[in-house]
Structure 1
């Protein structure tokens, strides 16, 4: 596999010179390590423009003191399963590329499933079975081996052929613009920062708690997320989720009672005093400041019937458009729609920012005439 290693200021200048030329479409990928950190650590950035493949070493190149990141945004981007890649890149660029295309999304529109892996994509489009043996190696260790570099280069060079094969079919079926729009929507979601005040909603079984207990959980979950970000460590390495829930439920007021929540010894030793203080503060909150009780959609009387009606409508649209139902309206987006109808106030529904995905963009242009009336 032909590639150029970028490890010196002179080599980086040469890449920047290429990026200053007319806008083009770049195949991008990242290799990273995230085991004991909140943020992924970038180990390698791969770029292929259809002619040249650059493997940019961020550990040896000072990318932040050059025009590299800014120049990268002057081009169109193609990635495969871009979620984690964009989480890394958003810390370095002010915006993503002129457009962004996720080949996993493109493959999903063509009926290959919503999570087609890169190896399967290349085998389908190029007839080549790639060796993925280096995917779990330490990309922060130096020097990188020839096998690692060859693996990294293939992640963007074969992507070029896959991309063009996909877009030819998508354009024939008049689906290309939909894939671009969906890629842009999901990329925008990746730009959103975690809100500590809503972190409690992600705790398993939070719906079982009373409003007062949720007030405790909200304060604890916000503290846990802020601590994880500040210390750059996984949230469960701060305090495990199950212990956090039990703290909200039992609301310990002394250390022996706190231990009964199953908190790990190290977390107890480091954070025990702070956790008891947070619980005490939350218990003192006025009821007007408690979060609303979490209502599960499954508990609404017409949930199953309405869900079935929507799925029947989506199946009809799938037949007419060839867009798979799990792309048109996955269960998550159906729930978003039902939440909008059943759990938001009239004032909240009037806010365009709260409009559900199924009632906006390319999906609404297709589904408007088919979605049932939701009471």
Structure 2
């Protein structure tokens, strides 16, 4: 079978692994077992306690609710695939068992760990391996899908037709059950192939670090205070009073969505939220000019207007802390030398350049240089394998352009 290379021409030195697995019969014949009773769950927990690596996935519904409804958990222990009928079971001891496993293998674990943290109420996980991150280290591609990865690495075609199924229906159809089982059936084999090539390129430790960094960031997101949620929606051009309105409105929306168990976007979507803060409407008529849905306008219009009026009259010293400024100037004299430093570091450690410094990390470093912030406050993502390079190379490089960086923050020109 011909295997295409995910990498772009610019990233051709990061070739995707070409598997040589000759026989997938054992994977296809791995038995599938349902877990529907407490006794069956305890038997699975005993099996999990005896393995070093397991693969997991979840199926859930969250179209009309604030809290996702966990419908199914798929587990591959290496000897069998288990489909856990989540709504029927008390899963507290199951979550505890997973926390103790040396390595939990996931693929694109963002939403899965969001549910994990919600239901397990545990500290940040430190045993996560996200195979999608591993693939990004081999290819330079950030979001290769599971079915594509399985096809390219193992030469197996997966049918994804059931991805939008109703996973709460019982019994599942044969197609649903096969789809759910296949989401973990090949994941351990994919993990093994990717891990082998990560070892060969000497970047396995970096992938483990970034997987657990991602798990830590997801934990922070899952546990953020309502009063801090506004930071996600902040725009550099907002005034302090607009920031105050944004903080109050987002916190109110979150509390309401949680109390009525509806998606927050059912109350105010992202676009109308932006329009409300942009215009700061003081009347229902002005609010109606935004794209807020008509049902929300009728139900919550008066409360939204009250929040805007309250925020508009708050004393300046009671307004929330302004988020760190975002560098938006077109003048970036530091960009070419920074790109050169990233490329040199990329070559030295065999990591694709687009994985070395995320945009938010660059903005963090520009803030550090412009406002003389302490290096000890670097975020967790810059405390790992990147730390010495950032401190010894990047920060001194940016400091050579400090005057221009300060000017860029001050002018705030929209690029």
Residue 108 of structure 1 pairs with residue 136 of structure 2: yes
Q: Is the 8 A contact 1:30 1:45 kept in 2?
A: yes
Whole-angstrom CA distance in 2 between matches of 1:341 and 1:233: 43
| Structure 1 residues 365 and 163: CA distance shift in structure 2, 3 A | farther
Residue 160 (structure 1) aligned with residue 183 (structure 2): no
**3-state SS in 2 of match to 1:281:** helix
Check the 8 A contact 1:259/1:268 in 2, yes or no.
Answer: yes
Matched, 1:14 2:14: no
Instruction: Name the residue aligned to 2:298.
Output: 269
TM-score (norm 1): 0.89
Provide the secondary structure at the position in 2 that maps to 1:45: strand
Q: Deviations over 1:329-350 (max 9, x none)?
A: 23333223223333x564xx36
Verify: 1:80 aligned to 2:107, yes or no: yes
Tell me if 1:323 matches 2:351: yes
How far the C-alpha of 1:139 sits from its partner, in A, is 1.1
Match of 1:238 among 252, 267, 270: 267
CA contact (8 A) 2:48 2:97 kept: yes
Q: Post-superposition, which runs of at least 4 consecutive aligned residues in structure 1 deviate over 4 A?
A: 95-98, 366-369
CA distance in 2, matches of 1:52, 1:41: 25
1:191 equivalent in structure 2: 219
Per-residue CA deviation, residues 235-291 of structure 1 (Å, 9 max, x unaligned), is 221113333334334433333333233432211121122112212221221022234
Of stretches 232-241 and 143-152 in structure 1, the one that deviates more from structure 2 is: 232-241
Please state if 1:309 is matched with 2:332: no
Q: Could you tell me which of 202, 225, 238 is aligned with 1:209?
A: 238
CA distance in 2, matches of 1:235, 1:229: 8
- Contact 2:326 2:363 (C-alpha < 8 Å) held by counterparts: no
Following TM superposition, by how much is the alpha carbon of 1:181 offset from its aligned partner in structure 2, in angstroms?
Answer: 0.8
Counterpart in the other structure of 2:312: 283
- State the distance in 1 between where 2:209 and 2:316 align: 43
For residues 269-328 of structure 1, the C-alpha deviation after alignment (integer angstroms, 9 at most, x for no partner) is 2112211221222122102223448743013x75x2223322221111112222101111
* Cα distance, 1:262–1:178 mapped onto 2, change above 3 Å: closer
Task: Tell me if 1:70 matches 2:100.
Answer: no
Q: Specify the SS of the correspondent of 2:79.
A: coil
- The change in CA–CA distance for 1:111 and 1:215 in structure 2 (over 3 A counts) is same
Q: TM-score, normalised by structure 2?
A: 0.81
> Shift in Å at residue 367 of structure 1?
4.9
Deviations 1:42-92 (A, max 9, x none): 11101112112111110222324xx22212221020101111110011122
Structure 2 unmatched ranges of 5 or more: 1-27, 403-415
Q: Which runs of 5+ in 1 are unaligned?
A: none
Please state whether the residue corresponding to 1:28 is helix, strand or coil.
strand
Give the RMSD, CA atoms, in angstroms: 2.4
CA shift in 2, pair 1:273/1:367, >3 Å: closer
Aligned counterpart, 1:37: 65
In terms of mean alpha carbon deviation, does 244-253 or 75-84 score higher?
Answer: 244-253
* Corresponding residue for residue 220 of structure 1: 249
Distance in 1 separating the partners of 2:338 and 2:263: 38
1:361 aligns with 2:384: yes
User: 2:367 aligned with 1:339, yes or no?
Assistant: yes
Q: Which moved more, 1:275-284 or 1:251-260?
A: 251-260
CA distance in 2, matches of 1:253, 1:359: 43
Aligned residues of 2:369 and 2:398 also touching (Cα < 8 A): no
Distance, in Å, in 2 between the alignment partners of 1:362 and 1:340 is: 19
User: Residue 53 of structure 1: which of 61, 74, 81 is its match?
Assistant: 81
Aligned to 1:298: 328
Give the match for residue 405 of structure 2: none
Native 8 Å contact 2:74 2:84 kept in 1:
yes
